[in-house]
Amino acid sequence: MENEKPLQGQVALITGASRGIGLAIAETLAAMGAKVSICARKAEELERAAAGLRAIGMDVFAMPADMTQTADIVRLAKETERKLGPVDILVNNAGVGRFGAFQEQSEQDWDAVLDTNLKGVFLLSKEIAPSMISRSTGHIINIASLAGKNAFAGGAIYCASKWGLLGLTNCMAEDLRAHGIRVSAICPGSVATEFSPPTKKNAEKMLQPGDVAHVVASLVTQAPQSFMSEILIRPTQKP
């Protein structure tokens, strides 16, 4: 990039950003010059993440928020704009997983996963979109998964949430593209984070959080006349 700070003056909001993929995305966008707003459910973990970003000179606002709670979502959107300014980049990264044979899962399991991975994305994007529409600019990036394309035993609820997220992303893109807003989905394979279910895979060969952050950086710096609507990421070697 010719400009070392291509996002100077822009505001990025990243959910689920106290660790793992979300934190890597926040670090990358902040290093590119963006002011970042980060949220997570656990206040202590979130504050540690924010302190780490501030220690290296990043401009960050941190606010605990639960993406299953409408009041938290509305407050997060309003406080981010009040503290940093209108959101230019929204990264819907917060996600949870419940794994096991579908017939052994409960209604509470279903609600916990779908409310976070799908409903929360809908509600937060809906809060942020009007401001982007008024300015005819913006990026909304939804962190989906290859589980949104490939079924596997024990993944019924998680896969349902990610298949739904891809459908939501595609429709959001069609609704917002006329307003100069690009909506994209990133579909990583297994990423070596605390979130990943127990596996025998070699963590060193798995995708790393920074790999996803690199793709986000590419999306928010792409040429103005086009947009990458969906990106699949796999490790170069099978773990």
Question: What pLDDT is attached to residue 73?
Answer: 98
Question: What pLDDT is attached to residue 196?
Answer: 56
Please answer whether residues 6 and 218 qualify as being in contact, where contact means their C-beta atoms are separated by less than 8 angstroms. no
Q: Active-site residues: which are they?
A: 158
Handedness of CA 18, 218, 97, 208 (dihedral sign): negative
- Label residue 201 exposed, middle or buried (CB < 10 Å: 0-12, 13-18, 19+): middle
CA 16/CA 92 separation, integer angstroms: 8
Domain contains 77:
yes
Question: What pLDDT is attached to residue 204?
Answer: 84
Domain contains 238:
no
Report the number of distinct structural domains present in the chain: 1
Question: What pLDDT is attached to residue 2?
Answer: 52
Give the CATH number, domain containing residue 79: 3.40.50.720
Which pTM value belongs to this model? 0.95
Domain contains 1:
no
DSSP per-residue codes, 86-98: S-SEEEE------
CA 85/CA 22 separation, integer angstroms: 20
Which DSSP state fits 197? Answer: P
Mean pLDDT, consecutive 10-residue stretches, the chain (239 aa), reads 82 97 98 97 96 94 98 98 98 96 97 98 98 98 97 97 98 97 97 69 88 98 94 91
Q: Which domain holds residue 38?
A: 11-233
Domain contains 5:
no
Domain contains 25:
yes
Domain contains 4:
no
Structure tokens at 181: 């807003």
